[in-house]
Amino acid sequence: MRERASPSTMAPAAAPTGTQGLAPDLQAFIEHLAVERRLAERTLVLYTEALHRLQASAAADGVPLPAAQPHHVRGWAAQLRGSGLGPRSISLALAAWRGLYRHWGRQGRIAANPVEGLRAPKAGRPLPKALAVEQAVHLADHALQRARAPSSASVPADPLLALRDHAIVELLYGSGLRVAEILGLDVRAGAAARGWVDPADASAQVLGKGSKRRTVPVGPLALAALRAWLEVRPQLAAADEPALFVSRRGTRLSPGQLRLRLKTQSLQSGLATPVHPHMLRHSFASHLLQSSGDLRAVQELLGHASIGTTQVYTKLDHQHLARVYDAAHPRARRKG
């Protein structure tokens, strides 16, 4: 797959809500991360929460943040552990604190970074949850059945949404997109578009983490589902709405709306476990690796910067093989 530079005309990300109450220099750091570093909105929200904690701890000890020393930061990190935060949350908080002091160091405000060298407690890395192949196919087939409900010239909203949901499921499972990537797709390509689908090339251009563009293939079933959705999309979408996937109100579908629709749809299909969008991305990667064994290709398709992030799917592949062995091999079954 080929990387493409982000269009220079793309509008910068807006600073997230939640910065109220932060000192002006902390708000300025969040704005720097949003506008210049273009961090994802969810990351900005988590960093903002971490800076709120840092500010509160420093105020409680009467320590100006630019004057903080390593022993101060160690104590504040210990307070995070004492408040019940897990290793991953502590690690993220320290990353936010470390980034703040590095930013101040580049500005010449501090001589040394008091967070440098401080590490969060190690946490075991949980395996991502993926559906079995049969379950993923069943979910997509269920979405297709709902989308084929009878319609008329004055088709009600639910069949329209069913066509939209079927296209979303096919894209999530068929192309392994993240939530932000699929919801960032626009109907038409353009310099201001975060992403789009090119039916002629059977591919999608998406904007991934770190504002990196990549091209992913789109299978024939997903393309067919998209064509069906595009035929009825004008009945829902606002006249000037560029988003490919819109809500009942005609505006770009939100992550919360997508998660709720997919959860409801998975339970209606008879699956025992509610499905979230990232589970379909995990399923895409796991099933592709099971079939191909090509870890590098899976890494590129997922848009992972590091092969280490992708290697977690080799463990899922091993679990799949172990289940097959336990179920099928005569020597795997113990006789009582």
* Residues noted as catalytic: 178, 209, 278, 281, 304, 313
Confirm if 54 and 76 have CB atoms less than 8 A apart: yes
Cα–Cα distance measured from residue 54 to residue 143, given in angstroms and rounded to the nearest whole number: 46
Angle, vertex CA 54, rays to CA 53 and CA 57, nearest 5: 85
Cα–Cα distance measured from residue 208 to residue 104, given in angstroms and rounded to the nearest whole number: 28
Confirm if 45 and 55 have CB atoms less than 8 A apart: no
HEC readout, 230-283: HHHHHHCCCCCCCECCECCCCCECCHHHHHHHHHHHHHHCCCCCCCCHHHHHHH
Name 251's Cβ contacts closer than 8 Å, sequence gap at least 6.
Answer: 238, 241, 243
What single-letter amino acid sits at 244?
Answer: L
C-alpha separations of 179 from 104, 185, 317 in Å: 33, 10, 24
Buried b (16+ CB within 10 A) or exposed e, 194-212: bbbbeeeeebbbbbbeeee
Beta bridge pairs of residue 233 = none
Q: Lay out the sheet containing 203-207: strands in order across.
A: 3-4, 213-217, 203-207, 195-198, 185-186
Coil/strand/helix, residue 211: helix
DSSP string, 153-177: TT--HHHHHHHHHHHHHHHHHHH--
Confirm if 140 and 169 have CB atoms less than 8 A apart: yes
